[in-house]
Amino acid sequence: MRFLTRVVPSLVLTLPALLPSALAVDSRGYPATAKTNVVDTYHGVKVEDPYRWLEDDNADATKDWVQAQNAVTMPYLQSLPGRQAIYHRLKTLWNFERYGVPFTEGGRYFYAKNDGLQNQSVIYTVDKLNGEPRVLIDPNALSKDGTVALTGLEVSRDGRLAAYGVARSGSDWQEWRVRAVETGEDLPDTIAWVKFSGASWLKDGSGFFYSRYDAPAEGKELSGANYFHKLHFHKLGTPQSEDELVYHRPDHKEWNFNGRVTDDGHYLIITATEGTDPKNRVLYKDLTSPTNAVQELLMAFDADYTFVGNEGPVFWFKTDHGAPNHRVIALDIRDAKTADWVEIIPETQNKLEQVSLVNEHFITEYLADATSVVRWHSLAGAAQGELKLPGLGTVSGLGGRRGDRETFYSFTSFTTPPTIYRLNLTNHTSELFRKPQVRANLDFYRTEQVFYSSRDGTRMPMFLTHSVALSKGLTHPTLLYGYGGFNISLTPTFSVANLVWMEMGGVYAVPNLRGGGEYGEKWHQAGIKLNKQNVFDDFMAAADWLVTNRYTKPSRLAIAGGSNGGLLVGACMTQRPDLFAAALPAVGVLDMLRFHQFTIGWAWTSDYGSSDNETEFKALYAYSPYHNLKPGTRYPATLITTADHDDRVVPAHSFKFAARLQECQAPGGPPVLIRIETKAGHGAGKPTDKQIEEAADRLAFLARMLGIKVDLPEEAGTSDSSGRNRQRP
């Protein structure tokens, strides 16, 4: 490929004719955003919030502002050099069969499949693994534009009924229905106002447990705070209004509940969480009699307790109690004193990520420097072998019932699309079930893991993926992606958009920041609340390392992240604007003083803290992206992305940040744009066509700002050793 070596000149925006005439235009062509004199006082500190009015997503003024911003952004992105070539390449590469991990119930197999460009994956069922599959649920038939997505699927033990959840336009709100597997017809049962919940059937299939909120106030469906989660039981054939309220806590509005029926059908395990804190409480209900009351089991809220399985009244849990990297314990619910717990699988130097109980064995997945290692153990905890994996990557799946003799798993990496394997649990051998065929030479790219030092000397891992022909000692366009929060681990995953970025000559870099879960709870704690600045320091140190080691230079370095990662991008671009040429904050948490006042934002105080607390307010105010923008500063070229139905991180965060950033950008500075998707939410369930359009816009924006001449193949083929693609069929 050929690249421009000069820095792209600053962009002067011109306003399209379709801008609403009611809105004025500033001297640079941006919609002029009105400012108000709203001032809040936090612990004696006065804080201006001139764009507070943009928080009202139902106001006509806000809708006009959204229309005006999109009227600038969309035509500009469409006109970028190479944008159409990028779009067509994305569409070509996206068009490959993708499978979900199969599972069995009642002797039948169920799995998801996408033919390539279907907006939503389709659920299939089949009697025999190599038999002729039959469509069970096709979400694409539920809307013309693909904006109705499947959010969950739970099949009854006998395989006759499938409870499934759907969400519209990307909202977190779900509606659950029940479908007869044999006929493919829906029963009359409909469950509304479900959020942050799956379903769990009674063993006899007569009904299922689920959790919901009360119906929100009209007009507040996408912005009102969500409190008082309630666990219900739905009996088939009855209206939702008659559902039994199994458990709730009116004295604790922040508690959320998840109900799971044990494999033997004897107990209902109730997990009570509080916000996004990994710690939880555990209760249970003996299901052998409907009159049995819910019993408290682990209520100290002192650790994470993930139920694995049981042998009668002996329950197995994966926990970080006394073990920051997690271990497996057994406790007898008849006398569950800590001193009587039995350690089954001890803590190791690697984090224990997940445990399943299948074929009378514990199957464990560990993270070793953010890559998967899979082992199996006897019920007594004895190590009995390790699964041979294709390389460094990420494993998911490995679930099933205790008596199953097989399970399935997916393996993926930065250069391997999700590949499905069947694991024979009798002899522990794997066989390929489905291997996707991407129309590109994936052998032309490789991943290396490097380690660098953060500001305080902490050793940090980072994945670098790029062409095998990458020239050492030269500077390349580099996209640095991060998250760093909520105990979430960033492990290797495949992305068509990242593949196209590398075809454009780019380096894709992913550091594993503190605040995540890659190294257990200590790693998580080192990046939350008053330690949150560590996360930003880790990310900026990664950027400095890339520059020092001549992978890139600031004029060719872009940063990206979504949600909590959007906060990461916002904080780093305000703290070190000279270090980056472009920034892509997506659906970001950008107003750190008011995030807890919308939808489920209150739940994030376990990671962020709250402006209601004076000490935490000082830390939040010091890095809040919206509040730390300074007039006249030259900020990186910025493309903010959000969506009108995002009820996880409400779009007001992005609206206010965009307005303030446009105001503060230095004269002649690079562009500041906001792209506001319609009929979409935080990201889950986004239709394929919208994903491709957004990816094309983001890559075209980066190409323009980092000086990349787009020279992509039109179709598939090979790449020669010079790095220039010659990919024709």
* DSSP label at residue 29: S
User: What pLDDT score was predicted for residue 16?
Assistant: 30
Q: Where residue 715 falls among pLDDT bands split at 50, 70, 90?
A: low
Q: What is the pLDDT confidence band of residue 12, given thresholds at 50, 70 and 90?
A: very low
Nearest-angstrom CA–CA distance, 679 and 651: 13
pLDDT at 579: 98
pLDDT digits (tens, 9 = 90+) for 640-679: 999 887 788 999 999 999 999 999 999 999 999 999 988 7
Query: Region 582-600: what's the mean pLDDT?
Result: 96
Given pLDDT bands bounded at 50, 70 and 90, which one contains residue 34? very high
Long-range contacts of the stretch 367-370 (C-beta < 8 A, 24+): 367/489, 367/491, 367/517, 367/518, 367/519, 369/449, 369/461, 369/512, 369/518, 370/461, 370/463, 370/489, 370/490, 370/491, 370/492, 370/512, 370/518
Contact 75, 16 (CB under 8 A): yes
Domains belonging to the chain, first-starting first, are 39-92+440-726 (3.40.50.1820), 98-261 (2.130.10.120)
Average pLDDT over residues 7-27: 35
Q: Report the alpha-carbon distance of residue 666 to residue 479 in Å, rounded.
A: 24
**Across 24-53, average pLDDT:** 89
> Residue 683's pLDDT is what?
76
What mean pLDDT is predicted for residues 23-30?
63
Catalytic residues: 563, 682
Q: Among the listed ranges 463-477, 543-557, 585-599, which one has the minimum average pLDDT value?
A: 463-477
* 8 Å CB contact between 504 and 1: yes
Q: Which residues are CB-contacts of 465 (< 8 A; sequence separation ≥ 6)?
A: 414, 415, 445, 446, 447, 448, 498, 502, 507, 508, 509, 510
Percentage of the chain exceeding pLDDT 70:
94
Q: Is residue 623 over pLDDT 50?
A: yes
- Whether the pLDDT of residue 82 is over 90: the answer is yes
Average pLDDT of the chain to the nearest whole number: 92
Does 293 have pLDDT greater than 50? yes
Q: What is the pLDDT of residue 35?
A: 95
pLDDT at 2 over 80: no
Of the two residues 5 and 473, the one the predictor is more confident about is 473
- Check residues 1 and 98 and name the one with the higher pLDDT: 98
Contact present, 130 and 670 (Cβ < 8 Å): no
* Nearest by Cα to 652 from 571, 607, 588: 588
Q: DSSP secondary-structure letter at 479?
A: E
Burial 245-266 (b: 16+ CB within 10 A, else e): ebbbbeeeebbbbbbbbbbeee
**Proportion of the chain above pLDDT 90, given as a percent:** 85
The predicted model gives 564-570 an average pLDDT of 98
HSE at residue 468, side-chain half, CA atoms within 13 A, is 11
- 15 pLDDT tier (thresholds 50, 70, 90): very low
